[in-house]
């Protein structure tokens, strides 16, 4: 019963996000980049659903465009991290020996870094752009994917069908590809949903520290951080992007829960 | 006649969500000190019936209707507090899985004391004295030390005995034992059961034994009740029911007990030898510490073993005797410290690459756990065809034909598209066997292939293995701890104890006159054999 | 269960106990304390060496030079009551004031002046103005000799009308004269012993620095004038509190734990403006914010494109929004507050989109992206870039904003590695120095954007002439050439706002951007 | 116990060395020269070059690394190239702020997670379970600093109960200091409770299914005791590892919350020193945080047998 509610809510919210993104390709209430210095900091109205920002730009249009940019950044990061993390985690968990020690030492070293700091330093080196954010956050979250994949590989590695496959003469690579990888996917898929959330949150944190996606391209993160000085005088500026983040992440989390119920036997009674 | 200790009338148990009836109108009476067995295959509702008594049904099911009178009181109407006072003091329970029956985070002493402190309010010294006394009676070495140690430091058999101690210390009027020894090997199984019967007889405690093993029923219970898919099909004195079963299901149950089979044709000495192991020694390195590694432990200590074409050799021993390790060594999956393993005359350690890949095809392994040995994400057709991948000149069409043929032979025609989780334990084990014989191996090592299955299905799988071996003539090394199965399937038997072969010979000869006492103990501990004598008497 | 909670509580208690007691002694509050704010801890206590705007402000309370900057930026008397300049402009004879004592009671003599100058010009010294007063600089000093107990003669390699302005430069601590005891016996620097109205108190890193009233300070007669004139300490102690975050500083002022908030960030003006018990003063600053163009860039080499960008901007609207109405729009490198800001410098460049488009097309510009670099420090620069990009887009000019952190932007500026950049220069007291920031030979100094030989010649001439009317005429011609060449687009001069509690009396802000806490008292109701 | 601890510390050395290596070279790759940043835009080229040399930045990088690491091993992390303060003292003073906030928050979050997680698992698939899971998912969806801003807006600006920004060190007045810490601690507690609750709930579900829980009930023990004595210790063990990881992550990672509430914490120090290219401070901080991360995980592993004796200190 619970799984169904999570599924419905999850699909609802994610569906809303996807439709907003699709619409943003075709139509936006206003040009998100056009400034109007005579109507700065206008409160929400029929003309401007979420009001205007400090440059008179329409917050609603920027939130819609921001949805597309933030989601694409998160998607790209998740794909890169999952692919690289699975590769390394698989090798570490299956081959063990010095490869495992090498991969785990490097990943522990990266994990010892506070994620946001590592990203900040990497962005400062590569320069601020959407791609640098994707690379920086990718590296920052790589260790957590490696950890999950290695743990899953270790438990699968002990299963008898792996021994059967090796006994029938399959090579290590073939066994990893044919038998271990498909069984590692469920936990990785569940991790991917929470990873999407973490990346959106991290991008907004980086914007807050001044190194997020550069202006004037809107992301929820940089809209939220540029709203900080006007907390008292124009509070709606921070409400709109905040709500978008919460709605999207709630939807993604719910989907993650539903996925976990279906894939993870423990949850089903 | 005094009022019976336990009287269940019209008990019906229903699943919350679907409303399906899991147990239909069960009637059961149990006198004081009487011993009743509830027999049925998995899914017959036998566990649920007993869990309902103290009101400990798992989540998702509930008692729909029916009365449970215990010691003169109707339990179904009792408040939580009153019911709790009866649990432990009035009704004791022992469970199946020794590994999780004791709380790993608490010391044995504290877990033993819990019940007594709650129900009897005795002083700590008094409780400790009783605990030590009880532990000594269940034959635990160093009872004082045992109080401070933790469950993970004991073997399965010892843990079940500790659990027995903790339950019987409260001298309950009724002991419910839910498959207490299924997870143990035959030796410790016999010890635990005999202890349970002795102790309950002393305190006059009634015993409700739940099992799917008719052998235990014959040896240890007065009356028996047979359940099939939630319905009581038969009930009566054990001897009468076993000798003259009224209901066809009971008859089938008794029929599937393994019995010696006269049709084994003696295999002549000169048939060629498929597998020959000479003076094999296998060592396990202790945990490799950072600074020093503990001394290596010898698991196999100088074993000679031969298996001829068309012969089934049973390798028998208690758990920890090294029989699985030897099985793996026979297939080259376990390196030897010294000694040789020859397959059709070639030493597998020094084989050339091509000869080795041929060896991989000609020697196959059947695993014990049907749920872990089949790749969950593949279809049955792919699993069975996996070994054929290495046969060079075989086209895809030939492979598909071979898979279909083999699946037909194991009684699963057209199952190629199914997935493992859609199949029962018995069917999966058939798939495992199909996978093994797909590449027409010369040697099949079966490592406890049936011990995880129910009795009736066990019987069918063994029959299948014997039929396939007769038709294809491969040599088979059959590893098991269950002597009844050995008698049904093996030509020769090799008994292994602590890594050494202590007895070997034709099955009938060894069973008739076992030379070594360890073998004698094994034979005595096997319940199924006892019933055969009973039935044939 | 109990075990777990127990473990957690013990762990917590141990660490909190370890963190609580701190080494610092309790703070004793005696007498009136005037609390001001600096946005970062001072860089060092050695005048004019490792410093920033905050350090300069604190130093001006402790040490005084021979001359000091007046309100209009020119150099007036301080420790030197008068001086004569030789006809060839190379020899300066200073007469010292009598009866002036250092904080440790030792009387000021010419020996102290000579010792201080030699220490500033010593080989190992990091004094900021040393390059200007060394060979190759604008006023190279050849010799400094005492002339009796109260006379000092300084000889330069060549005439330098700006020599006194150089001595009075605030970022060189006004060439403050210090007593030998400022340095320990082993030659290591201890703390400044000067002649200012306040003397050195205590420095709590990252917390605050406290100066104490110097009771027998000998003030010049008459009203205060810039860093000179009549100065008196009217409070027992002055405490400069280190509060990095602007929002935090404005909240501290509202809560009454800060008395004077100098250099209020325009962004948080809204938080403070309506509050009761708070008053403001402000003064235009001699700094300027601009867009720098890299003349060597393929596109921006053509002045027509640069002028097109200038014409696409409505500088007045940009200034109003970006600085929340606090700054003064200005199209000339000469700051609006400078005495030389005349009729030629006053007119703003009017936005003319049609002409801008025409000029751009004439320059062969077809919408190629031009990178406009900016950063968040100060936040207004980020807002400038967004408005400039949006306005330029109206004229068909495609600017791509690149937001860097301050250190990276400074690096790109220093090696000229940019196409266009929003940049701000701190206050320069003299227009020559302002023009000097832009005009110069790119080969020698990549930071210069105006490579025109004519402009460089005029700039050198403006430095060499002393007569104000002649300099005004040079600055007018420079301004005209600047507007046609358009090596940069000037945007605005900021206005420095100071917010304070109504109990604070006598605070005056001035274009040199440093807060002066002498002649300031905490009179009247608390 | 001691042998195990030393073994773990020895194993951590390669990780810490790698961290030091990564930090040292990563920071130097960032454009912008510390000397330039300090002297500002007006400074002359010679002055910048002089300061550059004085900071020892002109020596080849490997030489700088060896000298820095050599001194770091003896405990001397050098001095900040901007304020000249010893880095060690700077880190400790700023760490005090971060430590108080992180420790109190994580302790509270763990407590809430234990209670909520156990109840939800005990009544799996009931209304309470749904509510707990829903709340956890909701909390996980909120950016921590937006939560901080909202709390600031509500309690600081509108209700005036709590100071809006600023920080008073404990040394000056503990009572005032606590006022400033309430909002940051609330923010961190809420944002960390989500993950811990889900973890506690899922491990409690596993334990509730095992025989010894039914065995405890069969002994007649009241539900309260069954949950506290039998379910909790076994369910808390995996959650404790997660608490260790969270502690390690938060000690270095609450720069964002510190920015919102203008707390002079370690996170804030790291962000500022990276932006100001203050190499010694950046290196010192990251090494300190990495060492702390290793230490916290070691402590958690040492505490582990307290809950799960099976895990001997191999």
pLDDT of residue C464: 83
pLDDT of residue C23: 38
Whether the CA torsion D17, D20, D24, D29 is positive or negative: it is: positive
- Which residues of D, range 68-107, sit inside 8 Å of C by Cβ? 82-85, 90, 93, 96, 99-100, 103-104, 107
pLDDT of residue B511: 79
Confidence of residue D110 (pLDDT cuts 50, 70, 90): very high
Tell me the pLDDT tens digit for each residue of B341-359: 888 888 888 888 888 878 8
CATH architecture of C288-493: Roll (3.10)
Name which of B293, B315, B285, B291 is nearest B303 in CA terms.
B315
Q: Which chain C residues have a beta carbon less than 8 Å from that of A35?
A: 386-387, 390-391
In this structure, are residues B314 and B507 in contact, taking their beta carbons and an 8 Å threshold? yes
In this structure, are residues B426 and B457 in contact, taking their beta carbons and an 8 Å threshold? yes
- Interchain contact, C411 vs D32, CB within 8 Å: yes
pLDDT of residue B532: 57
The minimal CB distance from A2 to the residues D125, D267, D290 is found for: D125
Percent of chain A exceeding pLDDT 70 equals 96
Q: How would you classify the pairing of strands C237-242 and C33-38? A: parallel
pLDDT of residue B288: 47
Helix axes D279-307, C2-19, angle to 10 degrees: 160
| C221 or D5, higher pLDDT | C221
C-alpha torsion C378→C381→C386→C389, nearest 10: -160
Q: Say how far apart CA C426 and CA C299 lie, in whole Å.
A: 29
Look up tokens 């094999």; give the residue.
B280
- The per-residue DSSP string of C204-252 comes to ETTTEEEEEE-TT--PPSSSEETTEES----SSEEEEEE---HHHHHHH
- Which residues of B, range 48-67, sit inside 8 Å of A by Cβ? 59-60
pLDDT of residue D185: 92
Q: Say how far apart CA B241 and CA B234 lie, in whole Å.
A: 8
pLDDT of residue A78: 95
Task: Confirm or reject contact between D32 and chain C (CB < 8 A).
Answer: yes
- Interchain contact, D233 vs C3, CB within 8 Å: yes
Tell me the pLDDT tens digit for each residue of A118-151: 888 888 888 778 888 899 999 989 998 998 898 8
Across chain A, which distance is largest between two alpha carbons, in Å?
77
Q: Which residues contact B142 (CB under 8 A, 6 or more apart)?
A: none
Q: Which chain A residues have a beta carbon less than 8 Å from that of D15?
A: 105, 108-109, 112
Nearest CA in chain C to D115: C1
Confidence of residue B285 (pLDDT cuts 50, 70, 90): low
Distance from CA of C70 to the nearest CA of D (A): 22
Tell me the pLDDT tens digit for each residue of D226-247: 898 889 988 888 888 888 888 8
Tell me the pLDDT tens digit for each residue of B304-336: 888 888 888 888 887 778 888 888 888 888 888
- Interchain contact, D29 vs A125, CB within 8 Å: yes
Percent of chain A exceeding pLDDT 90 equals 14
- Which residues of D, range 252-271, sit inside 8 Å of C by Cβ? 262, 264
Mean pLDDT of the B444-472 span: 82
Q: Say how far apart CA D186 and CA D167 lie, in whole Å.
A: 16
Model's pTM, two decimal places?
Answer: 0.79
pLDDT over threshold 70, residue B112: yes
Q: Which chain A residues have a beta carbon less than 8 Å from that of D275?
A: 124, 210
Confidence of residue C14 (pLDDT cuts 50, 70, 90): low
pLDDT over threshold 80, residue A45: yes
pLDDT over threshold 70, residue C27: no
Question: Which residues are C237's β-sheet partners?
Answer: C33, C212
Mean pLDDT of the C142-167 span: 91
pLDDT over threshold 50, residue B293: no
Distance from CA of B152 to the nearest CA of D (A): 6
Q: Which chain A residues have a beta carbon less than 8 Å from that of D206?
A: 266
- The per-residue DSSP string of C21-46 comes to S-SSPPPP--S-EEEEEESS--S-SS
Give the start-to-end residue ranges of the domains of chain C. 42-54+61-196, 288-493
pLDDT of residue D172: 61
Look up tokens 């600017």; give the residue.
C399
Task: Confirm or reject contact between A170 and chain B (CB < 8 A).
Answer: yes
Percent of chain D exceeding pLDDT 70 equals 94
Q: Say how far apart CA A267 and CA B193 lie, in whole Å.
A: 36
Task: Confirm or reject contact between B19 and chain D (CB < 8 A).
Answer: no
pLDDT over threshold 80, residue B428: yes
Distance from CA of D253 to the nearest CA of A (A): 5
| D276 or B206, higher pLDDT | B206
pLDDT over threshold 50, residue B17: yes
pLDDT over threshold 60, residue B266: no
pLDDT of residue C407: 82
pLDDT of residue C423: 94
pLDDT over threshold 70, residue A246: yes
Q: Which chain D residues have a beta carbon less than 8 Å from that of B290?
A: 7
Q: How would you classify the pairing of strands C260-262 and C495-501? A: antiparallel
In this structure, are residues A88 and A146 in contact, taking their beta carbons and an 8 Å threshold? yes
Other chains touching D, judged by 3 or more CB pairs under 8 Å: A, B, C
Query: Which of C283-297, C304-318, C401-415 bottoms out in mean pLDDT, i.e. has the lowest?
Result: C401-415
Name which of A222, A219, A205 is nearest A141 in CA terms.
A205
The radius of gyration computed from the CA coordinates of chain D, to the nearest angstrom, equals: 24
Tell me the pLDDT tens digit for each residue of B384-418: 888 787 777 788 888 888 888 888 888 888 888 88
- Interchain contact, B333 vs A182, CB within 8 Å: no
Task: Confirm or reject contact between B223 and chain A (CB < 8 A).
Answer: no
Distance from CA of A2 to the nearest CA of D (A): 7
Tell me the pLDDT tens digit for each residue of A69-126: 989 999 999 999 999 999 999 998 888 888 888 898 888 888 888 888 888 888 888 8
Confidence of residue C26 (pLDDT cuts 50, 70, 90): very low
- Interchain contact, C407 vs D303, CB within 8 Å: no
DSSP class of D125: T
* Chain B contact probe: residue of D13, D120, D212 with most B CBs at under 10 A: D212
- Interchain contact, D36 vs C410, CB within 8 Å: yes
* Chain A contact probe: residue of B329, B360, B386 with most A CBs at under 10 A: B386
Tokens of D314: 């191999």
- How many beta-carbon pairs below 8 A join chains A and C? 50
Q: Say how far apart CA B31 and CA B54 lie, in whole Å.
A: 17
pLDDT of residue B292: 47
Do C288-493 and C42-54+61-196 have the same topology in CATH? no
Mean pLDDT of the B250-258 span: 77
| Predicted complex: ipTM over 0.90 | no
pLDDT over threshold 90, residue B5: no
Distance from CA of B287 to the nearest CA of A (A): 15
Q: How far is the CA of A185 from the CAs of A3, A93, A100, B201, B378, in angstroms? A: 20, 14, 20, 55, 14
The minimal CB distance from A160 to the residues B360, B361, B372 is found for: B372
DSSP class of D61: H
Mean pLDDT of the A230-242 span: 81
Task: Confirm or reject contact between B102 and chain D (CB < 8 A).
Answer: yes
Nearest CA in chain D to B117: D221
pLDDT over threshold 70, residue D270: yes
Mean pLDDT of the B32-42 span: 85
pLDDT over threshold 80, residue B536: no
| C138-170 as b/e: b if 16+ CB within 10 A | bbbbeebebeeebbbbbebeeebbbbbbbbbbb
Task: Confirm or reject contact between A122 and chain D (CB < 8 A).
Answer: yes
- Specify the CATH class of C42-54+61-196 in words: alpha beta
- Interchain contact, A167 vs B365, CB within 8 Å: yes
pLDDT over threshold 90, residue B301: no
pLDDT of residue C24: 40
Tell me the pLDDT tens digit for each residue of C188-243: 889 999 999 999 999 887 778 999 999 989 999 989 999 999 999 999 999 998 87
Task: Confirm or reject contact between A46 and chain D (CB < 8 A).
Answer: no
Confidence of residue D188 (pLDDT cuts 50, 70, 90): very high
- Interchain contact, C15 vs D83, CB within 8 Å: no
The minimal CB distance from D143 to the residues A105, A245, A254 is found for: A245
pLDDT of residue C408: 84
């Amino acid at each position: 019963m619970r799984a169904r509610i999570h599924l419905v809510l999850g699909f609802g919210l994610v569906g809303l996000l996807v439709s907003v993104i699709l619409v943003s390709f075709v139509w936006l209430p206003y040009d998100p980049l056009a400034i109007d210095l005579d109507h700065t900091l206008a409160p929400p109205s029929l003309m401007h659903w979420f009001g205007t920002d400090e440059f008179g730009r329409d917050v609603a249009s920027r939130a819609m465009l921001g949805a597309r940019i933030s989601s694409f950044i998160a998607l790209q990061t998740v794909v890169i991290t999952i692919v690289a993390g699975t590769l390394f985690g698989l090798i570490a968990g299956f081959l063990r020996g010095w490869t495992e020690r090498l991969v785990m030492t490097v990943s522990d070293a990266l994990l010892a870094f506070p994620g946001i700091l590592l990203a900040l330093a990497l962005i400062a080196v590569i320069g601020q752009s959407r791609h640098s954010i994707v690379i920086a956050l990718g590296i920052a979250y790589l260790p957590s994917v490696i950890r999950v994949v290695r743990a899953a590989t270790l438990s699968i590695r002990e299963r008898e069908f792996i021994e059967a496959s090796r006994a029938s003469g399959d090579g290590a690579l073939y066994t990893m590809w044919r038998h271990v990888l498909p069984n590692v996917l469920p936990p990785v898929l569940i991790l991917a949903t929470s990873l999407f959330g973490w990346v959106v949150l991290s991008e907004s944190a980086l914007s807050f520290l001044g190194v997020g996606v550069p202006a004037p391209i809107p992301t929820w993160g940089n809209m939220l951080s540029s709203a900080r000085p006007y907390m008292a005088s124009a509070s709606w500026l921070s409400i709109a992007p905040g709500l978008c983040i919460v709605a999207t992440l709630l939807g993604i989390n719910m989907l993650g829960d539903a996925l976990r119920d279906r894939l993870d036997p423990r949850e089903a009674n | 006649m005094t009022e019976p200790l336990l009287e269940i009338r019209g008990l019906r148990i229903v699943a919350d969500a679907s409303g399906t009836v899991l147990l239909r109108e069960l009637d059961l009476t149990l006198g004081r000190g009487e011993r009743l067995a509830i027999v049925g295959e998995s899914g017959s509702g036998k566990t649920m019936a007993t869990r309902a008594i103290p009101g400990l049904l798992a989540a998702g099911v509930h008692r729909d209707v029916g009365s449970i009178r215990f010691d003169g009181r109707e339990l179904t109407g009792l408040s939580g507090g009153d019911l709790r006072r009866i649990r432990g003091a009035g009704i004791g329970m022992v469970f199946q899985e020794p590994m999780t029956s004791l709380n790993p985070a608490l010391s044995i002493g504290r877990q033993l004391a819990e019940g007594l402190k709650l129900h009897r309010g005795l002083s700590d010294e008094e409780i400790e004295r009783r605990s030590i006394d009880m532990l000594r009676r269940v034959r635990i070495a160093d009872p004082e030390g045992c109080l401070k140690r933790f469950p993970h430091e004991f073997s399965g058999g010892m843990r079940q005995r500790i659990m027995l101690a903790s339950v019987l210390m409260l001298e309950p009027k009724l002991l419910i034992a839910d498959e207490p020894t299924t997870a143990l090997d035959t030796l410790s199984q016999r010890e635990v059961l005999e202890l349970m019967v002795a102790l309950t007889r002393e305190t006059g405690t009634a015993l409700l034994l739940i099992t799917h093993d008719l052998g235990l029923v014959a040896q240890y219970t007065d009356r028996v009740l047979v359940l099939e898919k939630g319905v009581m099909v038969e009930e009566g004195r054990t001897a009468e029911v076993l000798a003259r079963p009224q209901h066809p299901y009971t008859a089938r149950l008794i029929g599937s007990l393994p019995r010696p089979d006269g049709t084994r044709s003696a295999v002549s000495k000169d048939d060629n030898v498929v597998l020959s192991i000479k003076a094999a020694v296998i060592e396990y390195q202790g945990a490799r510490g950072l600074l020093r590694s503990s001394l290596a432990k010898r698991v196999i200590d100088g074993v000679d073993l031969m298996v001829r074409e068309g012969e089934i050799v049973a390798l028998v021993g208690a758990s920890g005797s090294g029989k699985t390790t030897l099985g793996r060594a026979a297939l080259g999956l376990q390196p030897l410290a010294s000694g040789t393993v020859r397959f059709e005359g070639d030493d597998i350690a020094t084989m050339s690459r091509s000869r080795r890949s041929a060896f991989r095809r000609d020697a196959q392994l059947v695993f014990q756990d049907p749920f872990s040995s089949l790749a969950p994400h593949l279809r049955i057709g792919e699993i069975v065809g996996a070994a054929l991948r290495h046969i060079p000149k075989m086209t895809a069409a030939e492979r598909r034909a071979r898979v279909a043929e083999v699946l037909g032979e194991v009684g699963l025609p057209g199952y190629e598209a199914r997935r493992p989780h859609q199949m029962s334990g018995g069917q999966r084990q058939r798939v495992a066997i199909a996978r093994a014989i797909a590449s027409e191996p010369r040697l099949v090592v079966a490592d406890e292939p049936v011990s995880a299955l129910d009795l009736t299905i066990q019987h069918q799988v063994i029959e299948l293995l014997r039929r396939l071996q007769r038709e294809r003539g491969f040599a088979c090394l059959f590893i098991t701890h269950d002597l009844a199965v050995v008698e049904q399937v093996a030509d020769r038997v090799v008994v292994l104890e602590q890594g050494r072969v202590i007895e070997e010979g034709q099955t009938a000869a060894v069973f008739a006159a076992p030379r070594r006492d360890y073998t004698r103990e094994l034979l005595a501990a096997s319940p199924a054999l006892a019933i055969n004598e009973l039935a044939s008497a | 269960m109990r075990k777990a909670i127990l473990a957690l509580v013990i762990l917590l208690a141990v660490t909190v106990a370890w963190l609580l007691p701190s080494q610092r002694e309790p703070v004793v509050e005696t007498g009136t304390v005037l609390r001001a704010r600096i946005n970062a801890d001072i860089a060092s206590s050695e005048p004019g060496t490792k410093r920033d705007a905050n350090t300069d402000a604190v130093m001006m309370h402790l040490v005084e030079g021979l001359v000091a900057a007046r309100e209009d930026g020119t150099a007036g008397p301080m420790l030197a009551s008068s001086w004569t300049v030789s006809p060839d402009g190379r020899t300066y004879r200073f007469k010292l004031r009598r009866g002036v004592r250092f904080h440790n009671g030792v009387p000021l003599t010419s020996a102290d002046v000579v010792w201080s100058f030699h220490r500033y010009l010593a080989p190992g010294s990091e004094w900021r103005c040393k390059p200007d007063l060394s060979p190759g600089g604008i006023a190279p000093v050849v010799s400094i000799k005492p002339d009796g107990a109260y006379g000092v003669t300084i000889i330069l390699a060549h005439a330098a009308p700006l020599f006194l302005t150089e001595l009075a430069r605030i970022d060189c601590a006004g060439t403050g004269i210090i007593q030998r005891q400022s340095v320990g016996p082993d030659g290591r620097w201890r703390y400044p012993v000067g002649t200012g109205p306040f003397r050195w108190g205590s420095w709590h890193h990252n917390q605050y620095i406290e100066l104490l009233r110097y009771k027998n300070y000998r003030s010049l007669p008459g009203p205060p004038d810039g860093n000179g004139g009549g100065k008196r300490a009217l409070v027992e102690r002055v405490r400069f509190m280190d509060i990095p975050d602007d929002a935090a500083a404005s909240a501290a002022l509202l809560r009454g734990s800060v008395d004077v908030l100098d250099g209020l960030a325009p962004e948080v003006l809204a938080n403070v403006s309506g509050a009761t018990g708070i008053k403001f003063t402000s003064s235009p600053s001699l700094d300027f914010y601009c867009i720098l163009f890299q003349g060597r860039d393929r596109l921006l080499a053509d002045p027509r494109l640069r002028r097109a960008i200038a014409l696409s901007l409505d500088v007045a609207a940009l200034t109003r929004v970006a600085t929340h109405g606090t700054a003064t729009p200005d199209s000339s490198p000469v700051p609006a507050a400078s005495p030389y800001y005349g009729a030629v410098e006053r007119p703003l460049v009017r936005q003319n989109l049609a002409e801008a488009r025409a000029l751009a097309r004439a320059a062969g510009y077809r919408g190629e992206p031009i990178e406009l670099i900016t950063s968040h420090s100060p936040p207004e620069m980020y807002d400038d870039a967004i408005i400039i990009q949006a306005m330029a887009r109206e004229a068909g000019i495609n600017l791509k904003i690149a937001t860097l952190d301050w250190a990276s932007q400074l690096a790109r500026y220093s090696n000229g590695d940019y196409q266009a950049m929003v940049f701000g220069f701190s206050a320069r007291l003299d227009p020559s120095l302002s023009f000097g920031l832009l005009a110069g030979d790119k080969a020698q100094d990549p930071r210069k954007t105006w490579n025109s030989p004519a402009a460089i010649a005029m700039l050198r001439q403006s430095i060499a002439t002393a007569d104000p009317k002649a300099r005004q005429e040079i600055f007018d011609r420079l301004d005209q050439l600047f507007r046609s060449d358009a090596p940069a687009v000037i945007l605005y001069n900021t206005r420095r706002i100071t917010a304070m509690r109504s109990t604070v009396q006598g605070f005056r802000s001035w274009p040199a951007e440093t807060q002066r806490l002498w002649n300031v008292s905490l009179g009247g109701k608390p | 116990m001691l042998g195990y601890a030393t073994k773990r510390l020895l194993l951590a050395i390669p990780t810490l060395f790698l961290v030091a290596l990564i930090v040292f070279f990563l920071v130097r790759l960032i454009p912008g020269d510390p000397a330039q940043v300090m002297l500002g835009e007006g400074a002359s080229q010679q002055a910048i070059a002089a300061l550059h040399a004085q900071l020892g930045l002109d020596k080849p990088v490997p030489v700088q690394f060896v000298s820095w690491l050599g001194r770091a091993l003896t405990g001397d992390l050098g001095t900040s190239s901007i304020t000249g303060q010893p880095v060690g003292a700077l880190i400790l003073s700023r760490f005090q702020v971060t430590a108080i906030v992180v420790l109190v928050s994580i302790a509270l979050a763990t407590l809430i997670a234990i209670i909520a997680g156990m109840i939800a698992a005990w009544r799996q698939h009931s209304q309470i379970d749904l509510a707990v899971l829903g709340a956890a998912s909701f909390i996980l969806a909120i950016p921590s600093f937006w939560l901080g801003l909202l709390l600031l807006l509500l309690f600081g600006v509108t209700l005036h109960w709590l100071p809006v920004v600023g920080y008073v060190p404990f040394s000056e007045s503990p009572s005032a200091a606590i006022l400033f810490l309430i909002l940051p601690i609330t923010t961190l507690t809420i944002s960390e409770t989500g993950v811990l609750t889900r973890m506690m709930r899922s491990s409690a579900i596993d334990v509730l299914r095992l025989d010894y829980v039914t065995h405890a009930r069969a002994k007649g023990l009241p539900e309260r005791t069954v949950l506290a004595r039998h379910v909790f210790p076994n369910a808390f063990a995996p959650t404790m590892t997660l608490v260790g990881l969270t502690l390690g992550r938060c000690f270095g990672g609450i720069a964002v919350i510190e920015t919102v509430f203008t707390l002079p914490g370690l996170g804030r120090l790291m962000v500022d020193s990276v932006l100001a290219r203050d190499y010694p401070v950046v290196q010192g901080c990251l090494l300190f945080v990495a060492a702390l991360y290793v230490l916290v995980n070691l402590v958690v592993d040492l505490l582990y047998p307290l809950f799960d004796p099976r895990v001997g200190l191999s």
